[in-house]
Amino acid sequence: MPSRGKFIVLEGGEGSGKSTQAALLTAVLDAVLTREPGGTAVGAQLREVLLGRGTTGLSDRTEALLMAADRAQHVAEVVEPALAAGRHVVCDRYLGSSVAYQGHGRGLDPDEVRGLSLWATAGLLPDLVVLLTVPAEVSARRTGGARDRIEDAGTAFHQRVADGFAVQAAADPDRWVVVDGTGTKDQVAEEVLAAVRDRLGLDV
Ligand code: TYD
């Protein structure tokens, strides 16, 4: 039996460089790269409902349940089988995004939102969460004009999301590492690799 792979999650707000860094880290680790919402065929349909500008009137609890449903399918179909087969998995957003966006952002109880995702995933937590932080101005500049339904939610919402990520990182410092995302792509990548080396003992 291969030894179990490591589950590494990149979290952060819009324009934090998460997706770029997830791709770079995946190449170095020869990992499986995936993302939420939308990492499976069922998830792609849920993603359209969740983020499509055509969706109107979605209640906060429905949004939280659909994010959790996407995660349940994703863990069952992609993440857990890959880890069990000994592959490392790099995931662009996971449970921390639900706690930050649906909990702190939308105003649902963050512990309940977390509990919902833990139920959905049969308790699967990442081995490491890298939180990329950038000031709101940098985020706005990087994301430019095109916005999805959630990106459209306004400045106060996104400030609560950022606070929600910071609270989670502070509450679980063994699992979370905060990396300043304002540097160059290569500088940030080096910091991400350093975290993977130090926290997980991987030879990268
Ligand atoms: P995405 O297009 O993947 O862009 P990015 O990750 O680069 O911002 O957008 C995913 C959106 O879904 C983003 O606005 C955050 C939101 N989201 C939640 O609200 N809750 C969640 O649990 C997840 C995984 C994502």
Contact between 91 and 7 (Cβ < 8 Å): yes
Q: What is the Å distance from ligand 1's center to 27 Cα?
A: 22
Q: Which of 47, 78, 101, 133 to mutate to test the pocket of ligand 1 (most atoms within 8 A of CB)?
A: 101
State how far the Cα of 158 lies from the Cα of 149, in Å rounded to an integer.
13
Q: Which of 130, 120, 139 is nearest to 168 (CA)?
A: 130
- State which H helix or E strand residue 71 sits in: helix 60-74
pTM of the entire predicted model: 0.96
pLDDT at 146 over 70: no
Q: What is the Å distance from ligand 1's center to 36 Cα?
A: 7
Q: What is the Å distance from ligand 1's center to 22 Cα?
A: 14
- CB neighbour class for 37 (10 Å; exposed up to 12, middle 13-18, buried from 19): buried
pLDDT band with cut points at 50, 70 and 90 for residue 192: very high
Question: Does ligand 1 lie within 6 Å of residue 100's CB atom?
Answer: no
Of 142 and 37, more confident = 37
